[in-house]
Chain A
Amino acid sequence: MSCLLLLTLMSASSVDAGAPNSPGPLSPSGIFLAKSIDKKWWRNAHQKASGPLEFSNADGRFSHPTLPFKTLYLGSDGITCFWESGLGRNLIDRFPTDRTIAADDLISRIEYSVLITPAKLRLFNANDSAARRSIGAKSVACFLSSHAIARQWAQALFSIGIHGILYPSARSNGTCLALFESPETCGALGSPRPIRNSYQNAELLARLLVEGVRTL
């Protein structure tokens, strides 16, 4: 009897509640939208980038040349933006003892702050479990693990008029905001304000030191 109970419990625990699933048909009504979000966001862009707030279809979590929209990624703070930038992602991918860059790599990255007016935006918060249940996403992994599945969800949400997705950064402790290009999102974005280059960010340099980065 007790063996049967144990077997039953084991089989119940083998269901992976964190596994991502693909979206089914979505209805615009009944979706839990993010109620209040911060107005101040950050962006880290290379100085040669054509524009700091350019929407892109480059291969990314919620962007791809095959998707019918372009995406702009913002971060809740400068540190998050750095680790989510191309340079930050490259450093994380390297073996810790190979995280060597030139100071120029940091000097060429510009940190911008940008104010957004979120009132008219319909944003989905992937970190909100009730919001996820409202669209049938079984776990936050739908948005954080496989890019292929994350893009399916992005496309499904975009198709019902969602303007962007809030999600926790996989590489930092901050929050990211992926905005899909639309008249509403473009209208909600203020002008980017250059703050400093990344070599002038003491908090970032301290974090780089902690993570074994060295500059030449």
Chain B
Amino acid sequence: MAAPVEVKIDEAQLLDDKPEDKEVVFRLLSKFNLSVGDVAEIFATYLLKHPANEKDLDRLRSALRLGATERQARMIAAAGKLLTSEQVADLLGYRGRQTANNKKRSGELLAISFPNRRGDFFPSFQFEASRVRPWIPELLKRIPNAWSALAFLTAKYDSLEGQSWLDILRADPSRVDELLAAADAYVS
């Protein structure tokens, strides 16, 4: 009687190659527009095993920029109409559009720009008739980056019962002091 043949089958093993694993995860994050919940679930679990380190900085920064265009579009929709520097010059009685650009540079006007569009764009909410609302330069003193300031103004907050600061000020302009206190806290 022949001796029984011993068959050895290797169990499938999960590849545990840290650099390779990280590359795959970052590629997945870049490829798919995952929801916040998806990312949180996958990535939080992954980070327990492979904490991020300095070598991951560039890829993390790229991943953080994903979806930024959609967010910018939502912020602009919440902000309302955008004016060109020529329109601002007409509205405020400036001699030319250069004055509007100078006011932007000195932090007196809120203006945003886009990499694929020429010129600056001025959210119309900062104007009241033919003047600049006084809280605009005060806000920009605290949060000078225009996109940051716009994100701060248009974000919806739990503490404001789901409203943004822009919603609050549109409904009740007297709450400017609260807005500026929140901006002070933002940079504290």
In Å, the complex CA distance between A98 and B148 comes to 12
Our count of residue pairs bridging A and B at CB distance below 8 angstroms stands at 119
In Å, the complex CA distance between A199 and B68 comes to 17
Beyond A86-B185, A205-B61, is A100–B52 a contact (Cβ under 8 Å)?
A: no
Could you say which residues of chain B place their CB within 8 Å of the CB of A58?
188
Interface residues on B, range: 35 or more
In Å, the complex CA distance between A214 and B74 comes to 13
Binds B, one of A18-26, A89-97, A149-157, A166-174: A89-97
A89 x B155 contact (CB < 8 A): no
A208 x B64 contact (CB < 8 A): yes
The yes or no answer to A17 lying at the interface (CB within 8 A) is no
In Å, the complex CA distance between A87 and B183 comes to 10
A216 x B40 contact (CB < 8 A): no
Q: Number of A interface residues at 8 Å Cβ cutoff, please give it.
A: 39
In Å, the complex CA distance between A211 and B55 comes to 21
Beyond A89-B185, A208-B64, A210-B47, is A200–B154 a contact (Cβ under 8 Å)?
A: no
Binds A, one of B99-107, B157-165, B168-176: B157-165
Which residue from B47, B51, B145, B164 sits with its C-beta under 8 Å from A105?
Answer: B145
In Å, the complex CA distance between A211 and B148 comes to 18
Could you say which residues of chain B place their CB within 8 Å of the CB of A46?
187-188
Beyond A202-B53, A216-B71, is A98–B155 a contact (Cβ under 8 Å)?
A: yes
Which residue from A93, A101, A103 sits with its C-beta under 8 Å from B61?
Answer: A103
Beyond A102-B145, A209-B64, is A93–B57 a contact (Cβ under 8 Å)?
A: no
B187 x A100 contact (CB < 8 A): no
Could you say which residues of chain A place their CB within 8 Å of the CB of B162?
95
Beyond A98-B151, A100-B75, A101-B151, is A215–B158 a contact (Cβ under 8 Å)?
A: no
The chain B residue sitting closest to A107, CB to CB, is B145
Offer 10 A-B interface pairs, CB within 8 angstroms, sorted by A.
Answer: A90-B185, A102-B148, A202-B60, A206-B43, A209-B39, A210-B40, A214-B65, A214-B71, A215-B64, A216-B151
By a beta-carbon cutoff of 8 Å, the part of chain A in contact with chain B is: 46, 48-49, 58, 85-87, 89-90, 93-105, 108, 199-200, 202-203, 205-216
